[in-house]
Structure 1
Amino acid sequence: MTHWFHRNPLKATANVSFNLYGIAASPAANKICNDLRTSRARLLEMFTDVTCTPEIMKNATDSYFSVLQGFIASLDGTTQENKLRFIQNFKWTDTLQGNAASAQQDAVFELVSMGFNVALWHTKYASRLAGKENVTEDEAKVVHKSLKIAAGIFKHLKDAHIPRLITPAEKGRDLEPRVIDAYIVQCQAEAQEVTIARAIELKHNANLIAALAFETANFYQKADHTLNTLDPDYSSKWRKYLQLKQLFYMAYAYCYHGQTLLASDKCGEAIRSLQEAEKCYSRAEGMCKEYRQTKGPGSTAKPSEQLFFLKLGGLIKNTLEKCQRENGFIYFHKVPAEAPSLELKASYGLAEPVAFELPPVSDLCTPEIYATFDLTKGAKDDKAKAKQQDEEVKPLKEPDLKPQKDTGCSIS
């Protein structure tokens, strides 16, 4: 299922040297700058390292963020703004608008931009792991958890840090609420997809599967509606993906709701529910073609080529034929003109974001060492700063992963 999920590209960033010569007026202050430079470089390397695991990513993230907070948190025991917050310039690209970079001289901007990438990495890791042959139960749990961790990071950035930016997020950029909300909801929807696959595999109650599928479809619709006021040049491809997934899970909901109705001897309504499932599935197939043909950022998912997608088409067809046979022999019910309303509420399996917390401020960042940063001196490396501001930000080279044999999203 590597090609089951749409993924926007990682954010790219300009190099940051943290060369605060003249300002960092003690060996301990210089060590903080060196640690910032090396831990940032290591974290950036982890984003494109295929051997990186969630544990390695957490260690690399904590290592950088613990020191970076020495430029953000109040270290002098007062409520005053940290004097180092606005001393370093940071430049980042956008997941939707390509190489058009935004720059802010603000350590909070760095925190939220890097944190955004960490969340995005977790979604990409989940996608890669889900694409393995014969995904084990433990691996499925990691996929599920990674998506909820990503949702939690996005939510934490939106609630706690993005509002602190002195320069508000530009419209249509990663850090504005519409985009962040879409990422949060998509992560929750995809985590629920794992739950649905598991429920189907273990042949859970049809009503539970229908309710989960309906809730998941609603999540995708919510994410799509969140993006509907963005520039279509940047958002159309992403929105097509959200729309096709919404239709796909509505088809699932109507299919399994039809099974529930048949089990309750409501054969006419069951037939109508299966007919609606057939209609949604057909529309999802058409939307898959539109999605593939739509230009825009991000890797192109191929749901219609996946066994998980194809299996649903067969299930709808076979279940509808069964209902029609039973109606012809036993029930003789009239098939309603209107599709049944899906007033389904899942009691189990709904995915909530995993709460994210920043690591504690590094032990290096003490009030005593903080006092040795002398802003009155001014940084001497003005040429390097000017060069960084003019530097073009190159996209991160993400690994080119080949699709593996699809086993139908089964969890063994």
Structure 2
Amino acid sequence: MTHWFHRNPLKATAPVQFNYYGVATTPASSKICNDLRLSRTRLLELFTDLSCNPEMMKNATDLYFSLLQGFILSLDDSSQECKLRYIQNFKWTDTLQGHVPCAQQDAVFELVSMGFNVALWYTKYASRLAGKEDITEDEAKDVHRSLKIAAGIFKHLKECHIPKLITPVEKGRDLEARLIDSYIIQCQAEAQEVTIARAIELKHNPGLIAALAYETANFYQKADQTLSSLDPTYAGKWRKYLNLKSCFYMAYAYCYHGQTLLASDKCGEAIRSLQESEKFFAKAEALCKEYGETKGPGTTAKPSGHLFFRKLGTLIKNTLEKCQRENGFMLNQNQMKK
């Protein structure tokens, strides 16, 4: 299968037993702790289970987080902190700095870290579906839906839970605003890719496709710029991917804009637009190679081998040739009139 999307690795975590012999003194409280341990283990297993679907993930997530809330929310719904919030130590790695774990004795840290992994799972699920050459309409909708869910989770964590952490987030770590924002923007861009592919399939107006492609290219550029101040050792490979996707969709934008100009008999402008498209496509091809050779965390996408990528190269070539023929025909007509 040819991977279309770059994906950073999941966060790793240390096992948690939830054994509180001096605290959980009743059968009911012992059962809650046991359920916490089992539901956490089950959720972690699903992250790497290729047979897992969104319904299974939602059920497992709802179960674990509903139990974990007992360590965060006060029983009387007051503004006071739950006394159990700091009873357990949790240890997690980062998606980019995977070999450097971070530990906090805070249930909110567990909530945001596990939630981060859930969002990553939805992006990986979307990637598996999008990597198919013959993706169906329903699968395309699932890709779009999964990416929207992932973006929503990242946004919710950033706005509602990460600010509640007692220990400040270290620079360059997953929970820092720059990384969260990049994940959100990337999800938005990839969801819009599905819209573009559908618009092309349904032969929508070239002007609409050009506008969508231009906006998508800007999404990728913005995500890349958000990561610009991070250590390239960790973020370099990810940035190469974002950059090549930006160039790829700029090539799409200029190609379809050229079609719009051609339909208005503006052959000269159409040719210039297609020539710009050629430049961006060539740059995207070069970046594909650079991306593949760049070391860094995450699975290596292979967009240049995907049918959607290859089709654009052919489309640019054919459209440019058509523009040049039309332009030559119009020049001949003008000469005959003279």
By the TM > 0.5 criterion, same fold?
Answer: yes
> What's the CA shift string for 1:367-408, capped at 9, x where partnerless?
xxxxxxxxxxxxxxxxxxxxxxxxxxxxxxxxxxxxxxxxxx
Q: Distance in 1 between matches of 2:133 and 2:284?
A: 25
Map of 2:336 onto structure 1: none
- Counterpart in the other structure of 1:273: 273
Residue type at the aligned position of 1:166: I
After TM superposition, give the deviation of residue 325 of structure 1 in Å. Answer: 1.2
Q: Secondary structure at the match of 2:265?
A: coil
**Mean CA deviation greater in 44-53 or 261-270:** 261-270
Structure 1 residue 331, shift from structure 2 partner: 5.2
One-letter amino acid of the counterpart of residue 131, structure 2? G
In 2: Cα distance, 1:51 partner to 1:258 partner: 43
Residues 78-157 of structure 1 correspond to what in structure 2 (within 5 A)? 78-157=78-157
Relative distance call for 1:132 and 1:312 in structure 2 (3 A) is closer
Matched with 2:227 is 227
Decide whether the 8 Å contact of 2:2 with 2:305 is kept in 1.
Answer: no
**CA distances 1:275-312 after superposition (whole Å, capped 9, x unpaired):** 10000000011111110111000000111111211111
1:300 matched residue in structure 2: 300
What is the rounded CA distance, in whole Å, between the counterparts of 2:133 and 2:160 in structure 1?
39
Find the counterpart in structure 2 of residue 31 from structure 1: 31
Whose RCO is larger (CA < 8 A, sep 6+)? 1
Which residue matches 1:177?
A: 177
Residue-by-residue CA offset, 1:331-364 (whole Å, 9 max, x unaligned): 58xxxxxxxxxxxxxxxxxxxxxxxxxxxxxxxx
Identity among equivalent pairs (%): 79
Question: Contact 1:2–1:129 (CA<8 Å) still a contact in 2?
Answer: no
Q: Match for 2:167: what amino acid?
A: T
One-letter amino acid of the counterpart of residue 168, structure 1: P
Alpha-carbon contact 2:227-2:235 (below 8 Å) kept: yes
| Shift in Å, 1:77 | 3.8
- Where does 1:50-61 land on structure 2 (aligned, <5 Å)? 50-61=50-61
Structure 2 counterpart of 1:40: 40
| Letter matched to residue 316 of structure 1 | I
Tell me whether 271-280 or 322-331 shows the greater mean CA deviation: 322-331
Query: What's the secondary structure of 2:330's corresponding residue?
Result: helix
Distance 2:331 2:253 in 1: 23
User: Displaced runs of 4+ in structure 1, greater than 6 A?
Assistant: none
- Aligned-pair CA distance for 1:328: 1.2
Paired amino acid for 2:123: T
* Contact persistence 2:133–2:307 (CA under 8 A): no
Aligned to 2:215: 215
Contact kept in structure 1, 2:9 and 2:95, CA below 8 Å? yes
Q: Deviations over 1:122-143 (max 9, x none)?
A: 0111111122352111111001
The answer to whether the 8 A contact 2:2-2:306 is kept is no
1:309 is matched with 309
Matched, 1:65 2:78: no
In 2, the alpha carbon distance for the partners of 1:141 and 1:19 equals: 43
Q: Distance in 1 between matches of 2:9 and 2:79?
A: 38
Q: Tell me how far apart the structure 1 counterparts of residues 59 and 6 of structure 2 sit (CA, whole Å).
A: 27
- The one-letter code matched in structure 2 to 1:308 is F
The aligned residue for residue 189 of structure 1 is 189
Residue 114 of structure 1 aligns to a residue whose secondary structure is: helix
Q: Distance in 1 between matches of 2:77 and 2:306?
A: 57
Give 3-state SS (helix, strand or coil) of 2:76's partner: coil
User: Secondary structure in 2 aligned to 1:172?
Assistant: coil
Structure 1 gaps, min length 5: 333-412
User: Please, what is the CA RMSD of the aligned residues?
Assistant: 1.3
* 1:2–1:127 CA contact under 8 A, matched in 2: no
In 2, the alpha carbon distance for the partners of 1:303 and 1:25 equals: 56
Q: Secondary structure at the match of 2:273?
A: helix
- Residues 1:133 and 1:321: Cα distance change in structure 2 (over 3 Å): closer
User: Aligned with 1:103: secondary structure?
Assistant: strand
Matched-pair contact (CA < 8 Å) for 1:258–1:273: yes
Please identify which structure carries the higher helix content.
Answer: 2
TM-score (norm 2): 0.96
Q: CA deviation at 1:19?
A: 0.4
Give the number of aligned pairs: 333
Contact 1:71 1:83 in 2 (8 A): yes
Per-residue deviation, residues 242-291 of structure 1 (Å, max 9, x unmatched): 00000000000000000001111211111111010000000011111110
What letter matches 1:205 in structure 2?
N
In 2, the alpha carbon distance for the partners of 1:235 and 1:281 equals 23
